[in-house]
Amino acid sequence: MKRKIVFFIAFVFIISQVHVGAQSIAALDRVEPMNWFTGMKNQQLQLLVHGNNIASRAISINYPGVQLVKVNKVENPNYLFIDLNINASAKPGKFDISFSSNQKKEKKLTYAYELKEKNTSTNRAQGVTNKDFIYLLMPDRFSNGDKTNDIVKGMKETTLNRDSMYYRHGGDIEGVMNHLDYLKDLGVTAIWMTPEIENDQPQASYHGYAGTDFYKIDPRYGTNELYKSYVEKCHSIGLKVIKDVVPNHCGNEHWFMKDMPMKDWVHPWPKYTQTTYKDQPAMDPYRSDIDWKLQVDGWFVPTMPDMNESNPYVATYLTQNYLWWIEYAGVDGFRIDTYPYNDLKFMASWMTAVKTEYPNFSIFGEALVNSVVSQAFYCEGNMINQGFDTKLPGVTDVAVKEGIYETLNGKFGWTSGASKLYSVLSEDFVYKDPTRNLLFMDNHDMSRYYSMVGEDLAKYKIGLSILLTTRGIPQMYYGTEILMKNFSNPDGLVRFDFKGGWEGDKENKFTAEGRTAQENDAFNFVRTLANYRKNNEVLQTGKLMQYVPEDGVYVYFRYNDQKTVMVIANPEEKEHTITTARFEQRTKGFTQATNIVSGDNITIAEKITIPAKTSWVLELK
pLDDT of res. 388: 78
Looking at residue 102, what is its pLDDT?
A: 85
pLDDT in the model for residue 386: 64
pLDDT of residue 22: 44
Q: Give the model's pLDDT for residue 385.
A: 55
Specify the pairing of strand 473-477 against strand 438-439: parallel
CA-wise closest residue to 126 among 240, 237, 233: 240
The Cα 312–Cα 410 span in angstroms is: 49
Distance, in Å, from the CA atom of 386 to the CA atom of 532, rounded to the nearest integer, reads: 41
Residue 564, strand partner residues:
559
Residue ranges of domains in the chain, CATH in brackets: 18-117 (2.60.40.10), 543-620 (2.60.40.1180)
* Distance in angstroms (rounded) separating the CA atoms of residues 461 and 395: 24
pLDDT digits (tens, 9 = 90+) for 429-488: 999 999 999 999 999 999 999 999 999 999 999 999 999 999 999 999 999 999 999 999
Cα 184 from chain centroid (whole Å): 20
What is the C-alpha radius of gyration for the chain, rounded to an integer number of angstroms?
Answer: 26
pLDDT value at residue 14: 35
Identify the segments of the chain with pLDDT beneath 70: 1-23, 383-386
Burial profile 116-135: b = 16 or more Cβ within 10 angstroms, e = fewer: eeeeeeeebbbbbbbbbbbb
545 by Cβ neighbours in 10 Å (0-12 / 13-18 / 19+) ranks as: middle
Number of H helices, E strands in the chain: 15, 26
- In 10 A of CB 40, how many CB atoms? 18
Select which of 309, 366, 428, 481 is catalytic. Answer: 366
Q: Which pLDDT does position 3 carry in this prediction? A: 41
Question: For residue 387, what pLDDT is reported?
Answer: 74
Phi-psi region of 535 (alpha: psi -120 to 50; beta: other; left: phi over 0): alpha
Element (H, E) at 584: helix 584-587
- Which residues are bridge partners to 73 per DSSP? 80
Active site residue 337: yes
Listed in sequence order, the residues at least 6 apart from 427 whose beta carbon sits closer than 8 Å to its beta carbon are 372, 373, 399
Closest of 467, 435, 531, 530 to residue 129, by C-alpha: 435
Amino acid at 602: I
Which is catalytic among the residues 146, 253, 306, 337?
A: 337
* Helices marked H in 74-179: 139-142, 173-177
